[in-house]
Structure 1
Amino acid sequence: MGEGMLGKIYQFVSVMILMILSSGSSPALAEDMEGKALVNDYCTACHEVSEDGKLARISAVRKTPEGWDMTLFRMQHLHGLELESDERFAIIKYLSTEYGLAPSEAAPFRYVLEQRAHFVDTAVNDDLDALCGRCHTNARYGLQRRTEEDWLKHMHFHVGQFPSLEYQARSRDRFWWKEVTTETYKELATLYPFQAAAWAQWQVADHKSPVGKWRVAGHRPGVGLYQGSMTVSPDGDMYKVVYDLEDTSGAPLTGDSKVVIYTGYEWRGSGTLNNTETREVYALSEDGAKMRGRWYEAGHYDRGGEIYAVREKDAVAEVMALSSSYIRVGETKDISLYGVALSGDVRTSDPGLDVAATVQGATLARLKITAGKDLAPGRYQVQMGAAVADITVYDTLDSVRVFPEYTIARLGGGRTPPVSAQFEAYGYLNGPDATPGTADDIRVGLMPASWEAQPFNEEAAHMKDVNFAGRLSDTGRYLPASAGPNPDRKFATNNAGNLKIVATVKDTDQLITGDAQLIVTVQRWNSPPIR
């Protein structure tokens, strides 16, 4: 366990995963009936039971597993609830089953569940952003469903728990208490209602077991594509997963994990890849045939990979990933396709794009592709039986964009590791409007680039932010410095900074640049599973 793991709430995305792995508990304890009995044993001491068996507050709320985890955390630390780790796990599993979120309800906010370091958190409107989003992500309340009455009680809870919030920034320009107790709770009840058709349908749906062999493809920002397979087998009330993956150079990425499925689709895992401790937050599709999500290092949630998996049994033909998504006019290039059910004749959408399969199997096909000299730049399709892949043909790049376009990194120090920022450069062609940077631009693909950090503005140059905030690696990862104050800086200020991250791509005889903004800021001290 690394230094950053100690005492950090955010390092157990799902604290329930770590509890069950370390507790050695009996799988039977996690059954729904046992969880229900534990809820009745522990919660009824404070939560009144109605004639129909509903528990006050509890039966009026729906949350993700992380949401219920945070609720129990608060009950234990503020109200004296005493639970063993296996009991807490069983309660979370039961509440997530009875009072969870349907896949479509959680989908818009998965970025926060997956512990992404770089995301854009938006509210439905400016009022909710000011009233709620100033203290936590807007995803925090978007991942809850409450009755109208309980949303009002939630407003009362906020003032009771945080009595100074009416005087904090973005509250002083409004009658905060009047607004939230007359308008906001009704709006939240409309946007995020307790009763919903999606949840009613999901409760009676056939939730598929993940057991079986899955075809996997994914991307590690700053590293590149990986692909392979994973095999899921039952392990009591949980699942065991074995990963057999590799990157495009053939370097292995292997390991295993132990997994819990909450609410019929919420995959939470804890394991290792190449001997590095990892966490997994995936979501099974409603039909149980696919899953998407993110895994990351347990000690550094900013480092990880996207994952897309398709169940191999009865899979529909699909190209899941390509070793490269582009080819230059007049060029011949070998491109590998990774997917499922890759069989049938190879053909293209234009005779100017010549394609031949040199290797063809169910999960891997290697194609030799030639883009004719007279072929117009644009997007073309390559088909292998029923599977389709998009290939972009280009002559010269029109622009380069850096992603993420805006993000933050955080200084490290003590037991708090730094939060890095990984940048990647993508080449683009102008769309029909012939103007770069507009919605109709055609993405060519990920490009090798050289990287440089520059001051974002005059103030950043004056404060010499580039010298103090950290360093930029050759792969586009910005590694923040240690937290200050720094006596070598003007005013002995912290090692924060406002930077422009510039990528330079060499395209034949021209150099094309793109840039993004990076704010290097202070450490985060309050980092719950849902920020």
Structure 2
Amino acid sequence: MFALASVGASSALAADGESIIRDRCLGCHVETGESATPFSRISEQRKTPEGWLMAISRMQQQRGLVITPEEKRTLVKYLADTQGLAPAETRELRYVLEKQPNVTESFEPWLQDTCVRCHSGARIGLQRRTEEDWKWLVHFHMGQQPTAELHAGARDRAWFDIALNQVAPKLGQVYGLNTQEWSDWQAADKQSLSGRWVMSGYLPEKGQFDATVHISELGNDKYSVTMDGQYADGTPLTGKGSGIVYTSYDWRGAVTINGVKMRQVLAASEDGQSLNGRMFKRDDDVLGGQVTAIKGAGITAVSPSYIRQGERKLLTISGNKLNGSVHLGAGVKVVSVVSRDDNRVVVVAEASQRAESGHREVRVGKLSSEMPLAVYDQLARVDITPSDSIARVGGGGGALAKQKSWYRAVGYAAGADGKPGTEDDIRLGYMPASWSLKPFDEIAEHDGDIKYAGTIDDRGIFTPGDAGPNPERKMSTNNVGNLTVTGTVHDGNQVVSGDSHLLVTVQKFVRALID
């Protein structure tokens, strides 16, 4: 996934990338003669692979750039490798690369009010530019979108003056071209990721899974991938595909798992021993989940992650090189080992009736889990994630597919203060739930949103209604709606519910690689 190409191959790639810039880009850009920034408006920027792909595509669409698909792939690879972002520079913003749905951002007001009103803050934060180039970007906005000053949130202030003279200098400081993180990453030793890995994760339609992943290097940072594992219900998982790594750590994979085409966006740790990110459906990126893979010994998952006082429960510990005795912490004992191999240990665990509520470290031999096991007395509350979400109508004979949403229930026990809903609460983890919908407010009830906006299944996956006018609705309006999603957890004799807000809205007609 992330092994560097040989020196010869890297040199050839660099030569090819520079040649493509000279052959295809210098009709508009100029060669400066400066070693640090040799190409104007190109060398003053650093971006993710997606960022560079968007920039080149924009040049094709708006400036008439003529470039072959192979040249385009080569140029994206070259620019991402030589003018990319270090792991530390993408770490807090990877949600937008991983296509995580329904993320709520929070940025400083100076950025929120000026830039984030139109697109995500992550799109800005995943770039590095000189202060001069940030100013050029402001000018570009005015030239390309001259009505920018007339939008809501801009026409009540001197937007252009603020963006150019106040925001751009701050961007040059916060997201400047030359950073210590980038210098450190360029100098760091890069580790090969070829070999055998174990991966754990969750997919909405199938649940928790574990798999052995074999990665074989093909050259020039391209790889073949095979996967072999199982879901929690015992269903086999098999897959194969390919991948490419950018900037010596940033993995983009395409795999077919049990006949379903999937995408992977993963980041390798700096020591090359772990991979973390998201895997999702190629044609429906909402339907995906977080995955973790490790190359060395370690624990990747404990499922389920909770046990009630006095309860006996089946626990599965996933990981790599799981050798030695299993320890579940004070007050929790292993009654029996149901099955075990190098990557998976299934045990019957029992929590004492007097076990203290709180988190326990799970250990197998000398290995310990970063994901604790929670012991609790009773379920105090249930939160539904995401707490606010958007789904979009689609289909109905139109070209755009429906955009679904999906939900999980997170259980909590009251902490030492005995009051649920405080910072002292004990997070138990994801719990099985039953799902239902209801109108969000009186207007939604009056308009019959519950009838038309969509349905939710027993996996927590919401499917919106068809796009287009609906003659059954008032004024033949479409199937938008304002709903509440309710997840109900049955835990012993307890029944506890939580709610989430869902807005079902119209199609999204413009979708960018980075919104």
TM range (shorter): over 0.9
Name 1:290's counterpart in structure 2: 274
Contact residue 331 and residue 351 of structure 2 kept, 8 A: no
Q: What code does the residue aligned with 1:403 have?
A: T
Contact residue 346 and residue 357 of structure 1 kept, 8 A: no
Name 2:19's counterpart in structure 1: 37
Matched, 1:384 2:356: no
Q: Which residue of 105, 113, 130 corresponds with 2:97?
A: 113
Matched, 1:224 2:207: yes
Matched, 1:204 2:187: yes
Name 2:5's counterpart in structure 1: none
> What is the Cα deviation at residue 372 of structure 1?
1.4
Answer with 440-449 or 358-367: which moved more.
Answer: 358-367
Matched, 1:422 2:406: yes
Name 1:343's counterpart in structure 2: 323
Q: Which residue of 64, 75, 88 corresponds with 1:91?
A: 75
Q: Which residue of 154, 169, 184 corresponds with 1:186?
A: 169
Name 2:150's counterpart in structure 1: 167
Matched, 1:440 2:424: yes
> What is the Cα deviation at residue 360 of structure 1?
4.3
Name 1:10's counterpart in structure 2: none
Matched, 1:81 2:65: yes
> What is the Cα deviation at residue 357 of structure 1?
4.1
Task: Kindly provide the CA deviation profile for residues 146-200 of structure 1, in whole angstroms up to 9, marking residues without a partner as x.
Answer: 0001001110000000000100111111110110111010111111111100001
Q: Secondary structure at the match of 1:428?
A: strand
Q: Secondary structure at the match of 2:497?
A: strand
Matched, 1:396 2:378: yes
Q: Secondary structure at the match of 2:31?
A: coil
Shift in alpha-carbon separation, 1:273–1:361, aligned structure 2, 3 A: closer
Shift in alpha-carbon separation, 1:233–1:466, aligned structure 2, 3 A: same
Q: Which residue of 110, 121, 142 corresponds with 1:127?
A: 110
> What is the Cα deviation at residue 495 of structure 1?
1.4
> What is the Cα deviation at residue 358 of structure 1?
4.8
Matched, 1:309 2:293: yes
Name 1:517's counterpart in structure 2: 501
Task: Kindly provide the CA deviation profile for residues 408-465 of structure 1, in whole angstroms up to 9, marking residues without a partner as x.
Answer: 1111131211111101112210123333223321112322221111111112112121
Q: What code does the residue aligned with 1:141 have?
A: I
CA distance in 1, matches of 2:307, 2:125: 42
CA distance in 1, matches of 2:12, 2:232: 40
Q: What code does the residue aligned with 1:146 have?
A: R
Name 1:6's counterpart in structure 2: none
CA distance in 2, matches of 1:222, 1:422: 10
Alignment of 1:314-333 (within 5 A): 315=296, 317-333=297-313
CA distance in 2, matches of 1:28, 1:349: 50
CA distance in 2, matches of 1:417, 1:194: 39
- Scaled by the length of structure 1, the TM-score of the pair is 0.90
CA distance in 1, matches of 2:54, 2:292: 28
Q: Secondary structure at the match of 2:113?
A: helix
Task: Kindly provide the CA deviation profile for residues 24-65 of structure 1, in whole angstroms up to 9, marking residues without a partner as x.
Answer: xxx999823212221222122221111225111101000000
CA distance in 2, matches of 1:126, 1:51: 39
> What is the Cα deviation at residue 355 of structure 1?
5.5
Unmatched runs of 5 consecutive residues or more in structure 2: 1-8
CA distance in 1, matches of 2:241, 2:67: 26
Answer with 320-329 or 67-76: which moved more.
Answer: 320-329
Q: Secondary structure at the match of 1:478?
A: strand
CA distance in 2, matches of 1:507, 1:223: 22
Q: What code does the residue aligned with 1:401 have?
A: D
Q: Secondary structure at the match of 2:323?
A: coil
Matched, 1:59 2:43: yes
Contact residue 244 and residue 253 of structure 2 kept, 8 A: yes
Task: Kindly provide the CA deviation profile for residues 478-497 of structure 1, in whole angstroms up to 9, marking residues without a partner as x.
Answer: 10011233222223322111
Contact residue 105 and residue 143 of structure 1 kept, 8 A: yes
Unmatched runs of 5 consecutive residues or more in structure 1: 1-26
Q: What code does the residue aligned with 2:358 have?
A: G
> What is the Cα deviation at residue 383 of structure 1?
1.9
Shift in alpha-carbon separation, 1:406–1:30, aligned structure 2, 3 A: farther
Q: What code does the residue aligned with 2:380 have?
A: D
Contact residue 30 and residue 90 of structure 1 kept, 8 A: no
> What is the Cα deviation at residue 239 of structure 1?
0.5
Contact residue 455 and residue 465 of structure 1 kept, 8 A: yes
CA distance in 1, matches of 2:217, 2:393: 41
Alignment of 1:218-257 (within 5 A): 218-221=201-204, 223-237=206-220, 238-257=222-241
CA distance in 2, matches of 1:307, 1:507: 27
CA distance in 1, matches of 2:156, 2:449: 33
- Scaled by the length of structure 2, the TM-score of the pair is 0.93
Task: Kindly provide the CA deviation profile for residues 212-237 of structure 1, in whole angstroms up to 9, marking residues without a partner as x.
Answer: 11111111235321001110002233
Q: Secondary structure at the match of 2:146?
A: coil
Q: What code does the residue aligned with 2:142 have?
A: V
Name 1:411's counterpart in structure 2: 393
Answer with 492-501 or 380-389: which moved more.
Answer: 380-389
Contact residue 316 and residue 347 of structure 2 kept, 8 A: yes
Name 1:489's counterpart in structure 2: 473
Q: What code does the residue aligned with 1:270 have?
A: A
What CA RMSD, in Å, does the superposition of the two structures yield over aligned residues? 1.8
Matched, 1:103 2:87: yes
